[in-house]
Amino acid sequence: MAAGMTTGMAAGMTTGMAAGMTTGMAAGMATGMATGNAVKPVKATVKATRKATVKATRKANQSLLVPPAFRFPFVEFTAYLAVEKGASPKTVEAYSRDLRYYFTWLDSQGITSLENANRELITTYLLELYEKGVAPASIKRTVATFKSFYKFCVRESLVSHDPTSTLRLPRVPSRLPEVLSIEQMSMLLDQVFPSTPAGSRDKAMLEIFYGCGLRVSELIALDRSAVLVEEGYLRVTGKGNKQRVVPIGGAALRSLIEYLSSSREHLHAKRTSAPPDGIAVFLNTRGRRISRQGVFNIVEQYGRQVGLNGLHPHVLRHSFATHLLEGGADLRAIQEMLGHADISTTQLYTHVDRSHLREEYLTTHPRAALQ
């Protein structure tokens, strides 16, 4: 309201003294009150949700080894991640684990206040992780966790300064994605599947992994309403609850239609202590939404049957992207289909098959064959 009055008074005085002041004050008060009233419900809702999440987190974390001196900022931050940032449960779990280890280490060093944890101390902790053989990617995530945590603490006045502000994220060696050849993919998908509802489901899942490039979490979260058969698309919910539309066609669409039209109902009809799931696309043999571990086991099983031991779903996603790129697909289009926020993640696939690039060069460049 004060901001509105100030703006209104200034405008009114510029326009012309008493009448302008009256008009400006009224307009300013109205604008300030309207803005305040619009923002208040949103802030109140977020605050109430975060408060409820904090309460639930405290109850859930009673058995966790978080030293008492750090319990309050820990609970506040995890609630902030879940409610305000909309982070996925796995992200919240990973950040929470990083902080629990860090707080336990601080406590062992006799540190009982975040104010006393300076940059040198944090660097010492990270060096200890490195010496213990912790993977570079895990250390990088830990640094990201600390940066996010301390930024939050400064904002909430839990600490006076951010000791990680000048801390750089460590470089992590790029690992090229593991992919199958087109021949191996054909061997996997053309094998004989059981003539059962579960076999039909398994075929559809494998075809969608390779035909659409979905993550495991995205496949198990698919609902029937997200399958747009006539349009030839899947409406997919990815990381951070971001939605995207992924095209589906050919063998993947045929397998999915066959499963939904004749096999899913038999899995749905299974009677257990829990009611069957009428929303999920992919069900387990008890009629419930299939689990992440269930999907991993199925992919590993069918891979093993054709000599691809240790196969996991992400290899099929990598193969989807790599084969599209080899076929001439645009990198931006692949990025959109995969749901990558950053094009640099998608660019990893440009380095996967060096032999393919060399073969292309040798067969297409006019002077490549000259000795």
Long-range contacts, stretch 301-305, CB < 8 angstroms, 24+ apart? 302/188, 302/191, 302/193, 302/202, 302/206, 303/188, 305/191
Among the options 147, 239, 254, 286, which is catalytic? Answer: 239
Strand, coil or helix: 243: strand
The CA-based diameter of the chain, rounded to the nearest angstrom, is 92
Does the active-site annotation cover 349? yes
Does the active-site annotation cover 215? yes
* Tokens 């086991």 sit on residue: 297
Strand, coil or helix: 365: coil
Among the options 215, 254, 266, 289, which is catalytic? Answer: 215
Alpha helices, DSSP H only, in the chain?
Answer: 2-60, 68-83, 89-108, 119-131, 136-155, 182-189, 197-212, 216-220, 250-258, 264-268, 292-305, 313-326, 331-338, 343-346, 354-364
Contact 264, 283 (CB under 8 A): yes
Rounded distance between C-alpha atoms, residue 8 and residue 165, angstroms? 39
Rounded distance between C-alpha atoms, residue 303 and residue 297, angstroms? 10
DSSP conformation class of 114 = G
Does the active-site annotation cover 312? no
The amino acid sitting at 21 is M
Written as six digits, the tokens of 298 are: 């199925």
Does the active-site annotation cover 235? no
Just list the catalytic residues. Answer: 215, 239, 314, 317, 340, 349
